[in-house]
C-alpha cells in the first residue's frame, strides 16, 4: 500500500490516518512489530521526527505500545482495532454524505446509488 500524502492537510495527521488504516487492514496485524521510525519515514518520504510524532500519538491512543529495547508493536487488543476501523469507516461515510448533500442528492437517491453500486460490486 503506497503512502498517499497530500498538501491540503498536515502530514502528521495524514500519517496517523494511514498508519491506522494499515493496522486495521491487517498490513500490521495485532501484536506485530512495527518497522523502525527511520524505515517508516523513508518509505513515506517524510522527516523521521514527523513519523515519530505520529507513532507517539498512536501509542498515546493505545493502538501501539513499545518495549524499550524491542521497538513498537501493534496492540493485541482486537476490540481497540475494531473501534478504530469503525471510526475510519464513519469518517469516510460522513465525508461521502457531506459531498452528496453538496451535490443536491436527497436521502433516497443516495441510498439508491449505494444499493445499485453494492449489488454490482458483490456479484
Report the interhelical angle of 37-44 vs 48-60 (nearest 10°): 120
pLDDT for 122: 85
**Which pLDDT belongs to residue 68?**
84
**pLDDT for res 14:** 95
pLDDT of 117 reads 93
d(CA 56, CA 7): 22
pLDDT of residue 100: 96
CATH topology of domain 11-77: Arc Repressor Mutant, subunit A (1.10.10)
Which letter does DSSP use for residue 70 in this model? T
How far apart, in whole angstroms, are the C-alpha atoms of residue 9 and residue 95? Answer: 15
State how far the Cα of 18 lies from the Cα of 10, in Å rounded to an integer. 13
Which residues have CB under 8 Å from 75's CB, separation 6+? 30, 31, 62, 63, 64, 65, 81
Q: Alpha-carbon distance 71 to 68, whole Å? A: 6
Q: Sketch the domain layout of the chain as residue ranges.
A: 11-77, 79-122
**In sequence order, what are the residues at sequence separation of 6 or more whose Cβ sits closer than 8 angstroms to the Cβ of residue 36?**
71
Mean pLDDT in order along the chain per 10 residues (123 residues): 86 95 96 96 95 96 92 96 95 94 95 93 82
For the chain, the C-alpha Rg in angstroms (whole number) is 17
Amino acid at each position: 500500500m503506497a503512502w498517499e500524502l497530500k498538501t491540503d492537510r498536515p502530514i502528521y495527521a495524514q500519517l496517523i490516518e494511514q498508519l491506522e488504516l494499515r493496522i486495521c487492514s491487517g498490513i500490521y496485524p495485532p501484536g506485530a512489530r512495527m518497522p523502525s521510525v527511520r524505515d517508516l519515514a523513508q518509505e513515506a518520504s517524510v522527516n523521521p521526527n514527523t513519523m515519530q510524532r505520529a507513532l507517539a500519538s498512536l501509542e498515546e491512543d493505545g493502538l501501539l505500545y513499545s518495549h524499550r529495547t524491542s521497538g513498537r508493536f501493534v496492540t493485541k487488543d482486537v476490540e481497540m482495532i475494531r473501534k478504530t476501523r469503525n471510526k475510519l469507516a464513519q469518517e469516510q461515510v460522513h465525508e461521502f454524505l457531506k459531498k452528496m448533500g453538496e451535490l443536491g442528492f436527497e436521502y433516497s437517491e443516495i441510498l439508491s446509488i449505494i444499493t445499485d453500486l453494492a449489488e454490482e460490486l458483490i456479484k
